[in-house]
Structure 1
């Protein structure tokens, strides 16, 4: 396979840039990003995290940020290129459901993250991600029109019926069995890629992306060269153009070298 000329590379955070073991970016990945930037190749973060939860990787000087799984795209200079909130009807239905049934969920807006009903398992998940547990949500005082993403702590088996019955105008994706990322219908990292390709005048034929979770599938399928980390979920590896080594074994560096991008 002849390697395409790459002009933009998109990176997921958890399990791709950041190791779940060290909670840090490896020296080889730091060097890879620096070399890409020195060559004039755009480096763009692409994550399901909130815009308020990425400060620890901003030192890498990305050229742009796709957050909330594509729902909030912002340039390096801080210009908002896209902001898309969840249908308020779905948020109202979620809140009403939670008043009647046990349910853990988080709500993410531009300014903050709040959470309802923290279990020990959920607290452990935040520790695994090296993130603080969000403050409790005040269900009676949520602005339903302000929510960019919610995490619903339900099993994969429960997800389909829950989404159809409670949040039919939204889309669920997941990178862990513990919860589903819920975003506006039609929203995904793929949309964020198109936003930045247009912003920088780059054709999709010159794009590459790295990911490991279910919410990375649309991204890896959309770019010209979709790379799954060695630690990626099986369904992610199945759709990738190439499977590299895992996040703790220089996977990003090795793939960029393999395709002669560096």
Structure 2
């Protein structure tokens, strides 16, 4: 029977160096060959879904932590941040010296010293893990390279916002924005302490999955989801089979129905095999 599978990107489909393990690529392709539907379900906006990811082949995209749904060439849902809320956060982050970027489907718009900050992070990663230099340059460097500087940041096409680690405590930032945004710690580990993400309240991966299932006229009983971090919690709790990666946060593992191996230990492939998806 046809199943519908939702896969997070960072820390799930891709490893810590930003690269898709070969076993995960094989698993997705085999599952689709077996007539299952496989969707990306990520906090990333479409501009951050590089060819190395999309060329694997998926039936659609849930992006922006549930704020965007695409199936084939059809956009089923797209909710964006109010311009006045963007102005508020740009002013706050700029005043407090917090590096950030605004995520839209058309591009990532960098504020503060965000681009230089991320390049420094990449260079430090290579120093710390010289054996992973090739993967880091393939998987993470393109993310830096697409960041756009010098554009007007008071925009009305923004899906969500990410901010890098700084001396400003995360709880201070959460308190400033919790009335207008869902504020969670960053799903990207190397962004550092006090880093995080701001998305539209009331919208998350589970609300998007529910909308997509209604469109497909498919029962929740036929759903699987794979994730590792905070913005995967609602998704894993909503689907029939919520599966945490071996490298997932402990809170995510506790919320999941099952735990597979880590991304670099063939976690997706092994779980697909276990459940008869491939």
Alignment CA distance shift 1:96-1:27 (3 Å)? closer
Relative to structure 2, which stretch is displaced further, 60-69 or 163-172? 163-172
Alpha-carbon shift at residue 137 of structure 1 (Å): 4.7
Q: SS state of the match for residue 81, structure 1?
A: strand
Alpha-carbon shift at residue 49 of structure 1 (Å): 1.2
Q: Which residue of 2 aligns with 1:240?
A: 256
Distance 1:156 1:8 in 2: 42
2:204 aligned residue (174, 185, 188): 188
Distance 2:166 2:97 in 1: 14
Q: Deviations over 1:39-94 (max 9, x none)?
A: 21110001111201213211122111011111111112x21111111233321111
Alpha-carbon shift at residue 36 of structure 1 (Å): 1.3
Distance 1:123 1:235 in 2: 30
1:82 aligned residue (74, 77, 84): 77
- So what's the TM-score if we normalise by structure 2? 0.83
Q: Which stretches in structure 1 are left out of the alignment for 5+ residues?
A: none
8 Å CA contact retained: 2:83, 2:155 = yes
Q: How does 1:1-262 map to 2 (within 5 A)?
A: 7-21=3-17, 23-54=18-49, 55-76=51-72, 78-118=73-113, 121-125=117-121, 129-133=140-144, 134-138=147-151, 141-154=152-165, 158-166=169-177, 168-173=179-184, 174-175=186-187, 176=189, 178=192, 179-262=195-278
Which segments of structure 1 move beyond 6 Å, counting only runs of 4 or more?
none
Alignment CA distance shift 1:166-1:16 (3 Å)? closer
Q: SS state of the match for residue 52, structure 2?
A: helix
Alignment CA distance shift 1:126-1:100 (3 Å)? same
Q: SS state of the match for residue 142, structure 2?
A: coil
How many equivalent residue pairs? 254
Distance 1:219 1:235 in 2: 13
Alignment CA distance shift 1:125-1:188 (3 Å)? farther
- So what's the TM-score if we normalise by structure 1? 0.87
8 Å CA contact retained: 1:211, 1:232 = yes
Distance 2:94 2:15 in 1: 37
Distance 1:239 1:156 in 2: 31
